[in-house]
Amino acid sequence: MAEDRASVEEAIRILLRHCGEDPEREGLARTPLRVAKALEFLTRGYHEDPKVAINGALFTEEEYQEMILCKNLDFYSLCEHHLLPFFGKAHVAYLPNRRIVGLSKIARMVEIFARRLQVQERMTTQIAHTIMDEIEPLGVAVVLEAEHLCMRMRGVEKQNSYVTTSAMLGVFRTHQGTRQEFMNLLRNAKG
């Protein structure tokens, strides 16, 4: 680990020189270490298994068969194309099929996938498919709404842009009424 961090720190010094800076000046002298530690924190999801996060909290619940929605789950991630942040809210719903999961585990799963280099589209489907595979519900719906600094700070520089992605599996894909109930719950939550 120490050797890996030393390599990362040297790479940051090279980047600083590339930008025209002196990595040895007082304000930047500890920046390579800080950046290395920040990257370790921001990408810690690579060392965590979202399936493990769920498995310890599955419960049999024969009677409850209505939609369960966790909304406004904050997340922060790094765009894999520019290593710039994107952040926003995740909304995750599922229709149980005799099994429910501890609610905090859904938030934990969002966090695990967010703490990797990502694209929002893939993160959306990873969350949905993991829930579908591990809980085996009748259906899963995931909507992510995010701001991307790669769109705001560089390139097109669109300051008020947001990106919304969705993944609908099972009954959320095949039954318009179930999908509409989910969308109405999201809309009502914001109003």
User: Phi first, then psi: what are they for 108, rounded to 5°?
Assistant: -65, -40
Q: Annotated catalytic, 120?
A: yes
Contact (CB, 8 A) for 137 and 131: yes
| Side chain identity at residue 108, one-letter code | R
CATH number for region 48-190: 3.30.1130.10
The active-site residue, picked from 145, 147, 150, 175, is 150
- Cα 113 from chain centre: 5
Per-residue pLDDT of the chain (191 residues; tens, 9 = 90+): 567 899 999 999 999 999 999 999 999 999 999 999 999 999 999 999 998 888 778 888 888 889 999 999 999 999 999 999 999 999 999 999 999 999 999 999 999 999 999 999 999 999 999 999 999 999 999 999 999 998 888 777 777 789 999 999 999 999 999 999 999 999 885 54
The active-site residue, picked from 79, 111, 118, 181, is 79
Nearest CA-CA partner of 115 in 123, 125, 106, 124: 123
The active-site residue, picked from 118, 120, 134, 181, is 120
CB-neighbour burial class of residue 173 (10 A; exposed 0-12, middle 13-18, buried 19+):
middle
Q: Annotated catalytic, 79?
A: yes
pLDDT for 151 equals 84
Nearest CA-CA partner of 107 in 119, 90, 128: 90
Instruction: Specify the pairing of strand 68-79 against strand 117-118.
Output: parallel
Q: Quickly list H helices, the chain.
A: 2-18, 31-42, 50-55, 103-114, 120-135, 149-152, 171-174, 176-190
The CATH number of 2-42, from 1.10.286, 3.40.50, 1.10.3470, 1.20.120, is 1.10.286
The active-site residue, picked from 10, 24, 61, 80, is 80
- Residues of the chain within CATH 1.10.286 domain(s) are 2-42
Q: Annotated catalytic, 9?
A: no
- Residues of the chain within CATH 3.30.1130.10 domain(s) are 48-190
The active-site residue, picked from 82, 129, 136, 147, is 82
pTM score of the predicted model: 0.91
Q: Encode pLDDT of 85-128 as tens digits.
A: 999 999 999 999 999 999 999 999 999 999 999 999 999 999 99
What percent of the chain shows pLDDT beyond 70? 97
pLDDT for 1 equals 59
The active-site residue, picked from 111, 118, 126, 148, is 148
Question: In the structure encoding, which two tokens stand for residue 143, read together?
Answer: 């909507």
